Structure 1
Amino acid sequence: MVRATFLLAFALFCSVSAPNPGFRTEITQKGLDYVRQIGIPILEEKLKSIDIPKVTGEADSPIGTVSYYAENLVGSHLVIPSSALTVVPNVGLEIAAKEISMLVTGKWHYRRNGWPHIEGTGTFDVTVSDVSLSIIVIVGADASGQPNVSSKSCEFNIGHMSIDFHGTGSWFYNLFSNVISNDVKGVIEKSVCNLATKEISVEANAALSTLPIVEKVSSFSEINFELISAPVFNESYLQTFHKGEFLYVPHPVQVPYQPTSLPPASPSSRMMTIWLTDYIANSAGFVYQDANVLHLNVTQNMLPSNLPIQLNTSSFKYFLPTLYEKYPNLPMQLFVNATAPPYLNISKSSVNLTFPGEVTVFVADNGIIINTFTLGIIMHGTVHIALRQNGTKEIIYGNATYLKSDITLLHSNIGHIDVTKLESAVNALCLLVAVPYLNVKYGAPGIQIPSIDGASFVDPVITQGQDYVRIDTDIHYDSSLKKSGFVQLKSSEESPLDI
């Protein structure tokens, strides 16, 4: 059942109760039906080759008490024509099947206990039909947040069973076949349950253990998807809760805010619903600010050649006359630096990005870099959120569109500066340099939605709400598709930018 648990594992990883999760999923009955569609044939195949333990006992017969045993029992030709996978509210999942049939073959032997020791041996065939199966599975997490499953109960109830003996003295065996049948029936029921629960508890957990609790995003950052509470089992869906938080690897620090509450689960016609809060992006902003990587040194070779404004004091003659007068026709450099973490706000109608920072303007005079003035800047933009596939991986990413900037003068070494005259130049540089750089460096790589091998989205639909993005999707599973593990997503080279 390793592959049979693919969608369950996908749901578990695509799952906390911190108080609020940064990442939440629901798997619907349609999704569970797909798990059943994929998993039952695998279970059926596993149970076709079941080895059943030796049966021994004693029975009264017309010739006295006899000892008997049945060995080399092998189950075959198991068929499961009807099955279901459903949620048991507040408990877990139930794998149920009915009208199961199977054949069992084996060897028999009997021996009279008293003298004379009459004995016989031969083979037998067992036909089992009208069988029902019920397995209750509990889904949880270990101390590290790794998802796991265990079997709470198993019932394999044989409705009808007939046994035919062949060989020397088989007519005699048939005289007390009811006694033997009950023993064989019991051991078949126990053996099938043992194999089924082992397949779930051992094989499924082996598959779940390969799912990354923490995914590396860069050399200094990672995102934590651990389960923070046990899944919730409702009448119509399975709901899971995950941390969904970026961490700064060299010096982990608690993000100074928490995810907001997500809406209650709502009906979906798809197999799975995935909720991503803006807390994920904002925890990333906090980490990247803490790592001191949110800065950009803008030089002339990064600007499009057809841009009317070039990084030369001559281009700023109108905007900054005092700069031109003091440093005529000299090359300039801009150092853009974040002063606080960027902040993303998602609403039903838009996704807004605020990026507070500073821009320090330098002039190069005969190899000497001169600090001329510093502006405070708050960039505003909107973000389009989308999905793409990268091989077998599902990536959610963003692309920012620049709107405007609020600027103030923080410091000047060249006297008074009228910042209102700089607004158009700053907007042009933000539009054509800063925001494209942010998109390439941080937006386009996106984050990988965790999944197990072979699972991919089918026709996903993204909707937005207050503080969250919701993905409703069907799932396709192809067991032939195997991932080689997490592959770090890399952005393009930082400079020059091709704009």
Structure 2
Amino acid sequence: MRPSVLVIFIAFLLFTPSQAHLKSTESSFISILISSQGLDFIKNLLITKAISSLTPLQLPQIKKSVKIPFLGRVDIAFSNITIYHIDVSSSNIAPGDTGVAIIASGTTCNLSMNWHYSYNTWFVPVEISDSGTAQVQVEGMEVGLTLGLENREGSMKLSAKDCGCYVEDISIKLDGGASWLYQGVVDAFEEQIGSAVESTITKKLKEGIIKLDSFLQALPKEIPVDDIASLNVTFVNDPLLSNSSIGFDINGLFTRANATTLPKYYQNSRHPVSCTDPSKMLGISLDEAVLNSASALYFNAEFMQWIVDKVPDQSLLNTAGWRFIVPQLYKKYPNDDMNMNISLSTPPVIKISPNNVDAIVYADLIIDVLESQEVIPVACISLVIHASGSVKIAGNNLAGSVKLNDFTMSLKWSKIGNLRMFLIQPVIWTLIETVFLPYVNVHLGKGFPLPIIHGFTLQNAEIICSYSKITVCSNVAYEDPQNLNQLPFHSYRNTVML
């Protein structure tokens, strides 16, 4: 038979010339790193799914005519040859410059089949035949494939650069009829059965790779966040392969839902993904430009405007509650209800630093008086709010919350004369703490989706804030939901977790 597949694949990785990493003109703001532990997880998952798709596996019928002394020509046929069990004792995954090699060695598989023979002799005028069943044990089988990964118009293209199967040893046990008489004859079919196993498994693996590539090609290039925004998850550049990890770059900016053009407001400041815990399977690094793109998008969509007509202390929305703070307001509009019209003047600016996320919000607060069903703007106060935030993982979402650090205020215009800002400041502080921040935190608590394929969930994630980026380091669990029928293998309903 052929030389060891393991040797072939090692030689392929060592001696195939490396290709230069292709550059893209599009920027990347989210980087993903799959560590050696993550690659082992994916390898084990793929092997489990491959086994489920390979069993049962039907092999083509084998026929052969042999000459036996005193009997003459004997026609022998094996039919209904079925691989019904595969066991992988060890496996390895090895990324290289040109692809990822997955090798399963020490593999055994069990086959069942029917056998039949017939012959005629000169001394017996009728055909003599016999049939029965057989059990086949294949041992020391090696299966290997090298997968190529490349960026193809923003999607990840998967291809089989090499794929093979090598059978080391086969034993056949016949049952039925006078099978013991013909065991030696059947043993001559070992090589044909081994070749059939090798070719059929190789063909099935190549078909699986084509289906897996189709699944990858069908992955969406944007993840909906809500009716306004989507996260652009278009791949940028080819994957970065080392001997122990695979890295991916994606655009990562927020864009208007179903937009035909993508914003290009930011320069690329990509950083390598670095996790303090080497046992984590996955690292996702987000540049602060991702958060600022969300800020700009919602601002431009006029989503950052609020009319406040209900507050915990409702007296603050009546001029009577302001009679000692702004006497002229109460004098001109006695006992009239009020609204607070809050609108941001520019998108919030988000800065990420070690162990902290800071935000600066520029807003205008217009005081409206409601008189005889008429809305009368009476004053506008400019606010500069300094807030700090915290981030957390909620499912597969990156979520967070903010708290008020400080704010400054100035009178922008007034129809009721000059205002004593030091008297108004406690009221504005209360409005920010009891109305503005709770509203914002409700939305931030939901978060936005990280680029995780459906069916995978983050486990035991930790978050690291550094200069201008947030890194999520996590393990991963997989549970195939019932509606994930598009995966290229049969249903797999167990949970795999490291």
SS in 1 for 2:255: strand
1:146 and 1:326, CA in 2 relative to 1: closer, same or farther beyond 3 A?
same
SS state at 1:414 partner: coil
Corresponding residue for 1:315?
Answer: 321
CA–CA distance in structure 1, aligned partners of residues 463 and 232 of structure 2: 22
CA–CA separation in structure 2 for the residues paired with 1:476 and 1:253? 32
Change (3 A) 1:47 1:111: farther
For residues 322 and 356 of structure 1, do their structure 2 counterparts lie closer, same or farther at Cα, with a shift above 3 Å needed?
same
> Which residue pairs with 1:457 in the alignment?
458
Could you tell me which of 341, 352, 362 is aligned with 1:335?
341
Partner of 1:287: 297
Match of 2:280, as an amino acid?
R
Show CA shifts across 1:70-100 (max 9, x none).
443222343222223x232223332212122
Letter paired with 2:97? N
Query: Aligned Cα RMSD in Å?
Result: 3.6
TM-score normalized by the length of structure 1: 0.78
| Alpha-carbon contact 2:33-2:273 (below 8 Å) kept | no
Contact 1:120–1:169 under 8 Å retained in 2: no
Write out per-residue CA displacement over residues 284-311 of structure 1, whole angstroms, 9 at most, x where no aligned residue.
1111111112101122x32435xxx712
Counterpart CA distance in 2 for 1:315 and 1:290 is: 35
Matched, 1:217 2:225: yes
The aligned counterpart of 2:474 is 473
- C-alpha distance in structure 2 between counterparts of 1:248 and 1:477, whole Å: 30
- The correspondence for 1:79, drawn from 78, 87, 111, is 87
Taking the aligned partners of 1:173 and 1:483, their CA distance within structure 2 comes to 47
| CA distances 1:460-489 after superposition (whole Å, capped 9, x unpaired) | 11121112222222222334676899xxxx
Gap regions ≥5 residues in structure 2: 1-22, 487-498
TM alignment of 1:43-442, pairs within 5 A: 43-55=50-62, 70-84=78-92, 86-104=93-111, 105-107=113-115, 122=131, 126-143=136-153, 145-163=154-172, 174=184, 178=188, 180-202=189-211, 204-205=212-213, 208=216, 211-249=219-257, 254-266=263-275, 268-299=278-309, 301-305=310-314, 310-389=316-395, 394-440=396-442, 442=443
* Closer, same or farther: CA 245–110 of 1 in aligned 2, 3 Å: farther
Equivalent position of 2:14 in the other structure: none
Measured at CA, do residues 451 and 118 of structure 1 come closer, stay the same or move farther in structure 2, by a change above 3 Å? same
1:189 positional shift: 0.7
Q: How far apart in 2 are the matches of 1:297 and 1:205? A: 50
Please give the secondary structure, in 2, of the residue aligned with 1:380.
strand
Between the aligned partners of 1:484 and 1:280, the Cα distance in structure 2 is 32
Alignment partner of 1:232: what SS? strand
Aligned-partner Cα distance in 2 for 1:337–1:483: 43
In 2, Cα distance between the equivalents of 1:78 and 1:215? 38
Give me the identity figure in percent. Answer: 19
Change (3 A) 1:33 1:374: same
Over 3 Å counting, the alpha-carbon distance change for 1:447 and 1:169 in structure 2 is: closer
Q: Distance in 1 between matches of 2:458 and 2:358?
A: 26
Partner of 2:236, secondary structure, is coil
Structure 1 residue 25 corresponds to structure 2 residue 35: no
Letter of the 2:241 counterpart = F
1:7 corresponding residue in structure 2 = none
Counterpart residue type for residue 428 of structure 1: T
- State the Cα deviation string for residues 21-49 of structure 1 (Å, max 9, x = none): 22222222222333344443443344342
Return the alpha-carbon distance in structure 2 between the equivalents of residues 127 and 303 of structure 1.
76
Give, in angstroms, the shift of residue 157 of structure 1. 1.0
2:74–2:117 Cα contact (<8 Å) kept: no
2:3 match? none
Provide the residue aligned with 2:489 in structure 1.
none
Amino acid at match of 1:416: N
Q: Alpha carbons of 1:225 and 1:129: their partners in 2 closer, same or farther (altered >3 Å)?
A: same
1:352 is displaced (CA, Å) by 0.7
Distance apart, 1:19 and its partner CA: 5.0
**What's the offset of the Cα at 1:56?**
5.5
CA–CA distance in structure 1, aligned partners of residues 186 and 457 of structure 2? 56
Check 1:125–1:329 CA distance in 2 against 1; reply closer, same or farther (3 A cut): closer
Moved more, 190-199 or 122-131: 122-131
How many Å separate the matches in 2 of 1:96 and 1:327? 81
- CA separation in 2, counterparts of 1:109 and 1:246? 69
Helix, strand or coil: the match of 1:90?
coil
Measured in 1, the distance between the counterparts of 2:393 and 2:482 equals 20
- Measured after TM superposition, the shift of residue 151 of structure 1 is 2.4
Asked if the contact 2:26–2:251 (Cα under 8 Å) also holds between the matched residues in 1, the reply is: no
Letter in 2 for 1:350: N
- In structure 2, what is the Cα distance between the partners aligned to 1:80 and 1:483? 26
The answer (yes or no) to whether the contact 1:255–1:283 under 8 Å persists in 2 is no
Q: CA deviation at 1:385?
A: 0.9
Amino acid in the other structure paired with 1:413? K
Assess, with a 3 A threshold, how the Cα gap between structure 1 residues 355 and 484 changes in structure 2: closer, same or farther: farther
CA shift, 1:281, in A, is: 1.9
Q: Which segments of structure 1 move beyond 6 Å, counting only runs of 4 or more? A: 57-68, 116-121, 164-173
Amino acid corresponding to residue 285 of structure 1 in structure 2: S
- Does the C-alpha gap of structure 1 residues 418 and 462 become closer, same or farther in structure 2, counting only changes over 3 Å? same
CA positional deviation for 1:18: 6.0
C-alpha displacement at 1:141, in angstroms? 4.9
Q: What residue identity is the alignment partner of 2:256?
A: Y
Q: SS of the counterpart of 1:134?
A: strand
Cα 1:133/1:89, change in 2 over 3 Å: same
> For the residues of structure 1 that align with 2:45 and 2:95, how far apart are their CA atoms?
20
Range with greater deviation from structure 2 (193-202 or 165-174)? 165-174
**C-alpha distance in 1 between matches for 2:389 and 2:482:** 32
**Could you tell me how far apart the structure 2 residues matched to 1:479 and 1:473 are?**
19
Q: Aligned partners of 1:397 and 1:484: how far apart in 2?
A: 29
Deviation at 1:371, TM superposition (A): 2.0
Distance 1:402 1:288, change over 3 A: same
TM-score, normalized by length of structure 2?
0.78
Give me the whole-angstrom Cα distance separating, in 1, the residues matched to 2:374 and 2:37. 68
Which whole-Å CA distance do the structure 1 matches of 2:136 and 2:482 have between them?
A: 40
